[in-house]
Each structure stands twice: as structure tokens, then as C-alpha cells.
């Protein structure tokens, strides 16, 4: 039986400021890793407080950076508006994570749905 590739957009809304939030962000990256290893199309979007996670996980000193680095090629970017609102815009840009502003300063989730992606939020 041949498996059909899955198209998934993972939206990280969790910050890394609490143990629970870090756990959700790491689980999002683990899912991205699993999907990528199976040849599925996967894209990661950091939105809301998740923009803090983008800045923190991109830091080579962070304990979960290694996992972030494994899936970094699948990171579409971080919300431009939320990066500024959570005061991490400079860190996100310095980490090379693109700022997404497709819909009024925010990433367009509709465009991903229109492209056939399933949305999963963490």
C-alpha cells in the first residue's frame, strides 16, 4: 500500500516561558520532524506567544535548539505583528526566521488551507 504524502501546517502558539509551554513547542517540532522523515509536506508557523518560542529555540544555547535545527528548513516564519507585540522581533529576525505578514500583519492560515494543508495548533 502506497501512502499519500500529508500536507500539514503546524502553528506554534505556545511560548517557552513555562515548562508546559516548552513541552507544547517541543511536541510541535517533534511532529514536524516525524512528518518530514516520512516525506510529508510540513511547514511551521510561530504565532502569538509562539513568536517567543521561535526566538528562544533558534538560540544555539537553548536546550531544545538541536531539535529546532533539525526542522529549521520547514519553518515558514513567525507572525510579524505578534513578534513586535511580544517584543521579540529583533531576536526573530536575528535568528533568520522570516516575518510573515500576509494578512493584516499576520500569517495567512487560509492560504495554507486553500493549498490543501491540514492545520494543527500547539
Per residue in 82-93, pLDDT (tens digit) is 999 999 999 999
- Where do the domains of the chain lie? 7-121
| DSSP 8-state assignment for residue 13 | -
What pTM value is reported for the model?
0.95
Query: Contact 6/118 with Cβ under 8 angstroms?
Result: yes
Per residue in 62-121, pLDDT (tens digit) is 999 999 999 999 999 999 999 999 999 999 999 999 999 999 999 999 999 999 999 999
Pick the CATH number of 7-121 from 3.40.1260.10, 2.60.120.1440, 2.30.29.30, 3.40.640.10: 3.40.1260.10
Q: For residue 7, give Cα distances in angstroms to 4, 33, 35, 36.
A: 10, 13, 9, 10
Among residues 104, 106, 37, 56, which one has the least CA distance to residue 76? 106
Amino acid at each position: 500500500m502506497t501512502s499519500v504524502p500529508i500536507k500539514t501546517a503546524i502553528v506554534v502558539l505556545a511560548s517557552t516561558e513555562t515548562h508546559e509551554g516548552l513541552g507544547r513547542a517541543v511536541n510541535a517540532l517533534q511532529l514536524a520532524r516525524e512528518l518530514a522523515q516520512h516525506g510529508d509536506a510540513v511547514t511551521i508557523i510561530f504565532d502569538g506567544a509562539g513568536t517567543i518560542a521561535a526566538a528562544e529555540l533558534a538560540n544555539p544555547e537553548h536546550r531544545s535548539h538541536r531539535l529546532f535545527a533539525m526542522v529549521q528548513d520547514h519553518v515558514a516564519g513567525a507572525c510579524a505583528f505578534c513578534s513586535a507585540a511580544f517584543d521579540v522581533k529583533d531576536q526573530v529576525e536575528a535568528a533568520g526566521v522570516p516575518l510573515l505578514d500576509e494578512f493584516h500583519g499576520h500569517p495567512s492560515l487560509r492560504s495554507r488551507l486553500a493549498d490543501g494543508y491540514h492545520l494543527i495548533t500547539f
